[in-house]
Structure 1
Amino acid sequence: MSTQPSGVAFASNSAEARQEIRNYTMNFGPQHPAAHGVLRLILEMDGETVQRADPHIGLLHRGTEKLAESKPFNQSIGYMDRLDYVSMMCNEHAYVRAIETLMGIEPPERAQWIRTLFDEVTRILNHLMWIGSHGLDLGAMAVFLYAFREREELMDVYEAVSGARMHATYYRPGGVYRDLPERMSRYRESKWRKGQSLKRFNEWREGSMLDYLEAFAADFPKRVDEYEVLLTDNRIWKQRTVGIGVVPPEKALAWGMTGAMLRGSGVEWDLRKKQPYARYAQVDFDIPVGVNGDCYDRYLVRVAEMRQSARIISQCVRWLKANPGPVIVDNFKVAPPSREEMKSSMEALIHHFKLFSEGYCVPAGETYCAVEAPKGEFGCYLVSDGANKPFRVHLRAPGFAHLSSMDEVVRGHMLADVVAMIGTYDIVFGEIDR
């Protein structure tokens, strides 16, 4: 009886048999923390090298588009927040712009500037979440804590205008819900914050929200410098990102990539410049572009975008401080009457109840409106048959288009590089499995 271990017997097998056994299949997700949602990635591996990647989606399917078709137009704005739940107001912007286009409504000038302001606040919020989570994926812990320090300061702004820290439902057809508040909430004394510490935390909060945002925009570039000290010239970070996941510009265009994925490959395309909306035509900013189209270039593009967003916020603050005015159209069909009007007018009271129960009818037609969301082009294709609810809503999510490139981009890379590639896509599955 042979005493050879079973492993020795394998050596006598044919080369063909060894070739068959060498490749194996691995499930990456859907529960993996680096999958950034319920992405199930089926990887065919040759040792540590990826031979094939098959992204599976559908595990989170929310039916958002069909839900929006079953409700009055104004009751679906909150669904938009929950699609890409770190780009909330940008999603709202595309949807309300589509409604306004079909109804022929032009929001007041101040409302347009407020939208421009909050689109950029949202862009910074998104990129802070991205740089923190991407750093965690690749082994950098500290940057996550730094990024959330600034993120919480901007979440206070969301809460101040809407009452919610995430799902704001602040944009409305015809403008925004209400004007910017004259004061910000302040920290109270506690065992963690007292004396000079409390005074420092409340320093920006002594004035209005615009004063607060002005101070934030002036201070934020120094915070971005801190992130760059941690990452940009860090040799481990560069080893994990330089030359990884290269997307040539012609491939980026063929795959329908937008946002930092497209600009990282050197294509200077940004809807804020090429098809301006809100008040982007009146603000001065640059479009950062990459050179090599790898993970490192996409990181640099997003970091530069945060700096440009702070620049836009400063310009919006200056205009809003100098130009008071209405923030929503004076039209009871789409905008609720004020409390004062409801107290003195039965007609205004009826309009209020009708607006929030039945909504409004949108003229028959179809339109597509897109915004430059933090992850890329987020668009809303809206069809109305003249009723008070959409006949068809279809949403163009940037992450959905980006995932189609996964197989070709990661082939030949190591398993750890797949994590870097998923992170650089900046995917959120609420919008992909909408």
Structure 2
Amino acid sequence: MTEKTLQYKFHPENLKRSSPGKYKEEDLKREEMIINIGPHHPSTHGVLRLEVLTDGEIVKDVVPHLGFLHRCFEKHAEALPYNQIIPYVDRLDYVAAMNNEHAYVMGVEKLLGLEGQLPKRIEYIRVLTAELNRLASHFIAMGTYGMDIGAMTAFFWLMRDREIILRMFEWISGARLLYNYQWVGGLYYDLPVGFEERCFELIGYLKPKLEELEKLIINNKIFVGRTAKVGVMSIDTAINFGVTGPLLRASGLKHDLRKVDGYSVYPEIDFEVPIGKGAMGTQGDCWDRMWVRLEECKQSIEIITQCLDKLKKDHRRTRDFDAWAMVPKKIRPKAQDLYMRAENPKGELGFYFRADGKSDVPFRCKVRSCCYSNLSVLSEISKGAYIADLIAIVGSLDFVLGEVDR
């Protein structure tokens, strides 16, 4: 780069003209300020910059600025065979990798016409691991949320319990965070001998712990004071912004893809879908969102228990989990467009595939990110809140930037 180019690039006028941000200082009214929160602030839950327009302590507008963590997942997917994309799928919402894999492999299997043809044991293990990961994801959501608003005990308790789940995952896959366990047409391997018994012990341990957490945090007077009637999201607002998952259910809409779409073996499992009722404030507030996550943890325990019962009684252990008889060595689907979605811990994760019928590499693999859509509602539900309440609202959305900046 020449000296003349450098002088032009870093000239004050050019820096001012190219400065990012919606608001400029010369446009502000007398009492207004622009405050930048992030991108390296703990409460932004990743590298997210929030451009906050304030009037004193009141938030007038919030503009999320993304793009600090580009993963280029979709470009990677256009250069890799279908089965080699799974490790990259893990890295979207990296605290719910099993759930990511479940949605992706179901999509590829649907491309191949294998939907509903897999052995039931495979399906039950997939649901078992997905629900264990739902617990681990919600534990992070509730634990870090406690830290956001000043409650350290919840974080320590929930990280302690999440550690047990991670050790279980390490036992079955060899990894603690990014698993590559669910494969197209099957699994990496069957559950280790003794896994079901250990899982039953884990369930017995977690049930009273969730009751303790509800008393210590969710129904705590200070916690209720910080979250009730804060960041209220109506059903109409949630639908208009494409919000899904616990956020949508906290607003009162009983919409869960495990029930609506009935994929895998979820139709054979009995569980409830909790929705927010405004018990401590207003329906769809921050308290409702955390309460729904806690109730979903209880329902996940019921699902896991039923899966374990089925695995122990009805389905024998097998080594044939590659299902090579059904899945060709080179996955080359017929030319088609297909969309597959699943209920992730944070909402609807969807994969849109376009296969050209000629290659074992997808022509297009587009991700419908629940975290991205859920983050889009932040500005709408934050207007008129205090700055301290903005931190509580951001935490209640429970997004992971690896999926937002995919």
- Displacement after TM superposition at 1:331 (Å): 2.3
Candidates 322, 334, 337, aligned match of 2:327: 334
Q: Is the 8 A contact 1:260 1:301 kept in 2?
A: yes
Distance 1:258 1:360 in 2: 31
SS where residue 350 of structure 2 aligns? strand
Please give the per-residue CA displacement for 1:150-206, whole angstroms capped at 9, x wherever unaligned: 111111111111110110000011111110000xxxxxxxxxxxxxxxxxxxxxxxx
Distance 2:317 2:368 in 1: 33
Candidates 62, 68, 73, aligned match of 2:77: 68
Distance 1:253 1:20 in 2: 33
Amino acid at match of 2:147: L
- Displacement after TM superposition at 1:254 (Å): 1.1
Corresponding pairs, count: 370
Distance 1:145 1:59 in 2: 29
SS where residue 21 of structure 1 aligns? coil
The residue number in structure 2 matching 1:324 is 316
Please tell me whether residue 369 in structure 1 is matched to residue 340 in structure 2.
yes
The residue number in structure 1 matching 2:297 is 306
Candidates 136, 140, 143, aligned match of 1:125: 136
- Displacement after TM superposition at 1:325 (Å): 4.8
Distance 2:378 2:224 in 1: 21
Distance 2:333 2:150 in 1: 50
Please tell me whether residue 162 in structure 1 is matched to residue 173 in structure 2.
yes
Please give the per-residue CA displacement for 1:56-109, whole angstroms capped at 9, x wherever unaligned: 111111110110110111111011111101111110111111110011123211
The residue number in structure 2 matching 1:225 is 211
* Structure 1 residues 50-89: aligned runs within 5 Å: 50-89=59-98
Distance 2:195 2:263 in 1: 24
SS where residue 354 of structure 2 aligns? strand
Please tell me whether residue 381 in structure 1 is matched to residue 352 in structure 2.
yes
- Displacement after TM superposition at 1:20 (Å): 2.3
**Highest CA radius of gyration, 1 or 2?**
1
Q: Is the 8 A contact 1:170 1:177 kept in 2?
A: yes
Q: Is the 8 A contact 2:218 2:224 kept in 1?
A: yes
**Which deviates more, 232-241 or 242-251?**
232-241
The residue number in structure 2 matching 1:91 is 100
* Structure 1 residues 28-47: aligned runs within 5 Å: 28-47=37-56
**Which deviates more, 121-130 or 362-371?**
362-371
Please tell me whether residue 144 in structure 1 is matched to residue 116 in structure 2.
no
Please give the per-residue CA displacement for 1:378-417, whole angstroms capped at 9, x wherever unaligned: 1111111121111000011111111211111101000011
Amino acid at match of 1:247: M
The residue number in structure 2 matching 1:26 is 35
Distance 1:249 1:98 in 2: 29
Please tell me whether residue 114 in structure 1 is matched to residue 100 in structure 2.
no
Distance 1:155 1:79 in 2: 19
Amino acid at match of 1:75: Q
RMSD between superposed Cα atoms in Å: 1.4
SS where residue 286 of structure 1 aligns? coil
The residue number in structure 2 matching 1:5 is none
SS where residue 41 of structure 1 aligns? strand
Please tell me whether residue 315 in structure 1 is matched to residue 339 in structure 2.
no
The residue number in structure 2 matching 1:194 is none
Q: Is the 8 A contact 1:100 1:173 kept in 2?
A: yes
Amino acid at match of 1:366: D
Q: Is the 8 A contact 1:218 1:310 kept in 2?
A: no
Where structure 2 has 5 or more consecutive residues not aligned to the other structure, the ranges are 1-25, 278-282
Amino acid at match of 1:269: H
Candidates 357, 362, 367, aligned match of 1:395: 367
- Displacement after TM superposition at 1:330 (Å): 3.5
Where structure 1 has 5 or more consecutive residues not aligned to the other structure, the ranges are 1-16, 183-207, 336-354
Q: Is the 8 A contact 2:188 2:322 kept in 1?
A: no
The residue number in structure 2 matching 1:262 is 248
SS where residue 127 of structure 2 aligns? helix
The residue number in structure 1 matching 2:22 is none
The residue number in structure 2 matching 1:297 is 288
Please give the per-residue CA displacement for 1:243-300, whole angstroms capped at 9, x wherever unaligned: 0000011111111111110000010000011111111011111000002100000111
Provide the TM-score with structure 1 as the length reference.
0.83
- Displacement after TM superposition at 1:427 (Å): 0.6
**Which deviates more, 317-326 or 261-270?**
317-326
Q: Is the 8 A contact 2:352 2:366 kept in 1?
A: yes
Provide the TM-score with structure 2 as the length reference.
0.89
Q: Is the 8 A contact 1:107 1:328 kept in 2?
A: no
The residue number in structure 1 matching 2:268 is 282
Distance 2:361 2:83 in 1: 9
The residue number in structure 2 matching 1:423 is 395
- Displacement after TM superposition at 1:332 (Å): 5.2
Candidates 388, 413, 419, aligned match of 2:385: 413
The 4+ residue runs of structure 1 with deviation greater than 4 A are: none
* Structure 1 residues 237-256: aligned runs within 5 Å: 237-256=223-242
- Displacement after TM superposition at 1:230 (Å): 1.4
Distance 1:303 1:173 in 2: 32
